[in-house]
Structure formats: C-alpha cells, structure tokens
Amino acid sequence: MKLYIIPTPIGNLEDITLRALKILKEVDVILAEDTRQTSKLLKHYEINKKLVAHHQHNEHKTLERIIDSIKNGEQMALVSDAGTPAISDPGFLLVRECIKNDIEIECLPGATAFVPALVNSGLPCDKFVFEGFLPHKKGRQTRLKLLAEETRTIIFYESPHRLIKTLKQFAEYFGEERQVSVSREITKIHEENIRGTVLELINYYETNTLKGEIVIIVNGHEK
C-alpha cells in the first residue's frame, strides 16, 4: 500500500523528473487538483491514465474512498496543478489520513515555486520562513504585525490582483525601505524578477501589467 506524491512543472513542462514520469505511467489512478490542467501534462508525455478530481472543495468527502481504494491494492499518485502537492495546495489531509492508516507515502523531489524565487532574490537564504498566502481578511493585520519583527527572510505567495495592496501593507508594517523581490511566471517565457525597496516595487507595479502567479521574498527585520 502506497501513495505517491508527485511534483509537477510550475511552468516549463520539461521541469519534471524521469522518475515522476515513470510512476505516473505505472499507477492506476492519478488524483488531480484540476483534471483539465493535469490532462495537458499527461497528453504532452503521452500518458493515458484515469484521473480523479481531488481539490480543496472535495478533499474531506473523498478521503475515505481514496484510502479504501489504496488498501484494496490500487496504485495512486497525487498531483497539484503546479509544484509540490500540500505546499499551498491540497495534499496535507490525504497524507495525514494515509499515515493514520499505515499507508506508505513516497514524496518525490521536484518543482516548487518558492525555491528559485528565494535563490534569485539575492536576499539571505540560509534561514527563511515560508508564509504562503496571507489571510485575505481575518487575521491578516495580526500576522503582518508579528512578521514585522521576523529576522529571517520571509516568503509569500500572492495573486496579481492583490500584489499592490500587499506591497502597500508591507510599506505600512515593514517600512518603505525594506528590501523585497517579486518573481512571477517562474520558468516561463516571460519570467520576471524585480528587486528593490517596497516603495520602489509599488511604483514599478503601479505602471506595469501583472500576470501569473507571484512569489514575494522579503528581507528579514534588521535589528
């Protein structure tokens, strides 16, 4: 009994390991965050497998059925739309349930957006804290107040339509001169990495079009 956790490319379809492709070809079922998105990847590599939707809106309901299927001998792999499952994506609940049921978990190494963004930022990467997406409303200000004193480099995920709002809140809580780096469209043709102070990046993005998923790297508080 085993569940495979398979990282998928965050942009460039060539960023997938040979072992990941081998396992995707061998399993009986692929659990996908979005079956339409995963179908594109499978089609590119000529893999024809049964796809089952497993996402944040149904993961509580499907857990028992998935566990039973694995116990009955079905080989399953879990993928997200892009990157490593369970990192700001569905996966944690299923992994936890597998552990409870003594089901082996094999998580392959592979693509995740924040690592190249962190290294590319030029900010200290020996110690860092991953925050993912900030709360949209409740708890957002409390979280920012706590992070204002964080001395390690901080990593955030953000959507294009919220970036300027988030940068302005960084200016308010972290200060306009705090060094930041914004990476978007990582591994894609239009990849962009912009570095500078919070104020400089606010000015830049107020006059430049934003598309794609975004990683923000923020320098830690310097005492």
User: What is the third-level CATH fold of 2-107?
Assistant: Cobalt-precorrin-4 Transmethylase; domain 1 (3.40.1010)
Structure tokens at 35: 């079956």
The predicted model gives 131-155 an average pLDDT of 95
Q: CA-to-CA distance for 167 and 203, rounded, in angstroms?
A: 10
Mean per-residue pLDDT of the chain: 95
Global pTM value: 0.92
Q: Is the pLDDT of residue 59 over 90?
A: no
Structure tokens at 56: 């944040």
The predicted model gives 54-79 an average pLDDT of 93
2-107 with 114-218: one CATH topology? no
The whole-number pLDDT of residue 210 equals 85
Asked whether 47 and 32 are in contact (CB, 8 A), the reply is no
Q: Is the pLDDT of residue 209 over 90?
A: no
Nearest one of 89, 28, 100 to 64, comparing CA atoms: 100
Nearest one of 58, 92, 64 to 78, comparing CA atoms: 92
Asked whether 27 and 75 are in contact (CB, 8 A), the reply is yes
The predicted model gives 204-219 an average pLDDT of 93
Domain boundaries, the chain: 2-107, 114-218
What count of other Cβ atoms lies within 10 Å of the Cβ of residue 162? 15
The string of pLDDT tens digits covering residues 84-119 is 999 988 899 999 999 999 999 999 999 999 999 999
Q: CA-to-CA distance for 128 and 217, rounded, in angstroms?
A: 10
Q: Is the pLDDT of residue 78 over 90?
A: yes
Name every residue whose Cβ is closer than 8 Å to that of residue 160 and which is 6 or more positions away in sequence.
184, 210, 211, 212, 214
Architecture of domain 114-218: 2-Layer Sandwich (3.30)
The string of pLDDT tens digits covering residues 9-38 is 999 999 999 999 999 999 999 999 999 999
The string of pLDDT tens digits covering residues 169-206 is 999 999 999 999 999 999 999 999 999 999 999 999 99
